[in-house]
Amino acid sequence: MTTLISAEWIRLTSSRIWLWGGVAALASGAFIGLLALAGPENFDPPLPPLDTAEGTRVLLGLLGFLACLPALFGTAAVASEYRHGTVTTTSLFAPRRWTWLTAKLLAYTGAGLVYGFLAAAVAAAALFAAAAIDGVTLGLPVGVVLSLLARVALTMAVYTLLGVAIGALLRNQVAAMAVVGGYLYAVETALTMIPGVKALYPLLPGGATAALTGFTYLADAVAGQTGEPAVPLLSAPAGGAVLVGYALVAVAIAVLAPLRRDIT
Amino acid sequence: MIEVRGLTKTFGPVAAVTDLTFDVGPGTVTGFLGPNGAGKTTTMRMMLGLVAPGSGSVTIDGRPYRELRDPTSVVGAVLDSSGFHPAHTARDHLRLYARMGRYGSDRVARVAEVTGVSAFAHRRTRGLSTGMRQRLNLATALLGDPRVLLLDEPSNGLDPEGIAWLRRFLRDLAAQGRTILVSSHVLGEIEQTADQVVVIREGRLVTAGPLSELYGSASVLVRSPQADRLRTMLAAPTEILSSEVLRVHDLSAAEIASVAAAHGIPLQELTSERPTLEQAFLHLTGGTTP
């Protein structure tokens, strides 16, 4: 398995996807810094300022909202095996398909973790720098900020795993990316507006992520728009558990489903 | 030794391969022939565990491909649709699969050298010609120095020089005692490289055996002013083409010349006739080219 994981690492680092991933991670972190510098109170609609706990949480939560990006990278990386036809050669070198699929899942989860911590480190540096420039103190203690950022980084790793699993299942690169991006950015948010269905939101990937990262802005905003009370989210550990549960189910399906498929 | 036993595969209502049974012996080049859509590629993919057979089995050295220990050190395969990541260089591609197979960088250098890939190893695969891709496919198949090679249309996209190179290359590999199964639509290529042939049509076996047997019996065209007298002397099936020309079956030209000489019959022409592989193939498969 170690050999297969290192082969996946060669596959990843031999194309430019790692470069674009790195750029996206840096840009995600820097984006949070820019928002902090602009001041959440100056947004339209205005948000609580940076020196309040709520304001700091919103910015950290926005970084979590960008967890879909590494998921898209994971999806693209795996689905490209099918798109470019390398799945045939890969399956010849590792005929027990679950082995290379598992190696991919592990390698890309590692890559997602690196992505998450890179984005979180840049965001942390940018947040503290922006607060210093504005002459304010962040509304949350340093320990809490770092803990929330670590949760965001872990969320990104889990999302990458989800993305890889969906890429392995759907195989069509464009369709897989459309499904992942479309669901995480559009469908799930839309679900929060439907009475009845929105009660499920805390159990959906986005809701679980919001619970883990403490980011309730979207749910609150929707509640404000619809005039209905926001659905209470799960606790952070429960949200994390739900997210990991999704990842494990996706992994199980991704590993088991292709075993009987013909590679033609 | 590759043993194919009762292999059957259907795709929906279409029977791609039906009860296919043949062997590919060690140390031989076996040509795998059949018209387009005959089931050659499906059969090869079933041999490699890429396509699950509906029934039947394929074993290589007694085991299914998936159960081979270090399968790419036993079998190397070049399949028609093997792909490359366009952003990878040819060397990246070989390094990646060498790592998967646990082969060292010396093997990457070696296969790149013998297949000519080293000349374009630094180039990204998106810019490679079809011939370069085929060489890279072959290099990938050789990473594990396998004793069995399965090649599906390996000459596709090669120019005449590339085809000649491939022919020499396959001959060298066979001379090293490797077992090679090669499907091709270029019959001349098979004629010059294969010792054995397996011919399938509509997913069923037509014939399998030595290439020489595929041609059927040879005949000899004989021209003599005493053709009719000669015919009575020859104890062999004979066709009368004209008053002076016969086609004689089951006897060699030397045997006919001996009989004629023994009876003082003058001969004006003695030509051995042998069907081309294409004629033999068309006869066996019902008239379409492979």
- Binary contact (B96, A15; C-beta < 8 A): no
pLDDT at B110 over 90: yes
Asked if the structure places residue B164 within a domain, the reply is: yes
The pLDDT score that the predictor gives to residue A218 is: 60
Place of tokens 């070696």: B110
Give the domain range for residue A138: 2-260
Asked if the structure places residue B121 within a domain, the reply is: yes
Asked if the structure places residue B93 within a domain, the reply is: yes
Please state the domain count of chain B: 2
The C-alpha of B168 sits at a distance from chain A's nearest C-alpha, in angstroms, of 25
The answer to whether residues B269 and B165 belong to one domain is: no
Interval B7-62: pLDDT, tens:
999 988 888 899 999 999 888 889 998 888 888 999 999 999 899 899 999 999 88
- Binary contact (B96, A260; C-beta < 8 A): no
pLDDT along chain A (264 residues), means of 10: 87 82 87 82 77 82 81 83 87 88 87 89 87 83 87 87 82 77 76 74 83 69 62 83 86 75 77
A contact test, residue of B47, B58, B70, B85 with most A CBs within 10 A: B85
The C-alpha of A96 sits at a distance from chain B's nearest C-alpha, in angstroms, of 7
The answer to whether residues B240 and B176 belong to one domain is: no
The answer to whether residues B129 and B230 belong to one domain is: no
The C-alpha of A60 sits at a distance from chain B's nearest C-alpha, in angstroms, of 35
Residues belonging to chain A:
264
Interval B199-222: pLDDT, tens:
888 889 988 888 877 776 678 899
pLDDT at B255 over 70: yes
The answer to whether residues B141 and B49 belong to one domain is: yes
The answer to whether residues B242 and B207 belong to one domain is: no
pLDDT at B286 over 70: no
The pLDDT score that the predictor gives to residue B289 is: 44
Please state the domain count of chain A: 1
Q: Is B95 on the interface with A (CB under 8 A)?
A: yes
The answer to whether residues B238 and B189 belong to one domain is: no
Tokens representing B256?
Answer: 């006919």
The pLDDT score that the predictor gives to residue B239 is: 85
The answer to whether residues B226 and B183 belong to one domain is: no
The residue of chain A nearest to residue B10, with distances taken between CA atoms, is A262
The C-alpha of A93 sits at a distance from chain B's nearest C-alpha, in angstroms, of 6
The answer to whether residues B246 and B200 belong to one domain is: no
Asked if the structure places residue B289 within a domain, the reply is: no
Q: How confident is the model at residue B148 (pLDDT cuts 50, 70, 90)?
A: very high
Q: Is B65 on the interface with A (CB under 8 A)?
A: yes
- Binary contact (A88, B51; C-beta < 8 A): no
The answer to whether residues B200 and B262 belong to one domain is: no
The pLDDT score that the predictor gives to residue B217 is: 65
The answer to whether residues B237 and B118 belong to one domain is: no
| CATH number of the domain enclosing B60 | 3.40.50.300
The answer to whether residues B194 and B230 belong to one domain is: no
Mean of per-residue pLDDT scores for chain B = 87
The answer to whether residues B136 and B233 belong to one domain is: no
Asked if the structure places residue B194 within a domain, the reply is: yes
A contact test, residue of B97, B108, B130 with most A CBs within 10 A: B97
CB B97 within 8 A of CB B78: no
B-chain residues near A15 (CB < 8 A) = 85, 87-88
Give the domain range for residue B181: 2-214
A-chain residues near B45 (CB < 8 A) = 262-264
Report pTM: 0.78
- Binary contact (B52, A260; C-beta < 8 A): yes
DSSP string for chain A: -HHHHHHHHHHHHHSTHHHHHHHHHHHHHHHHHHHHHH-GGGSSS----TTSHHHHHHHHHHHHHTTHHHHHHHHHHHHHHHHTTHHHHHHHHS-SHHHHHHHHHHHHHHHHHHHHHHHHHHHHHHHHHHHHHHT---SS-HHHHHHHHHHHHHHHHHHHHHHHHHHHHH--HHHHHHHHHHIIIIIHHHHTTSTTGGGGGGGSHHHHHHHHHT--HHHHHHHHHHTSPPPPPPPHHHHHHHHHHHHHHHHHHHHHGGGG----
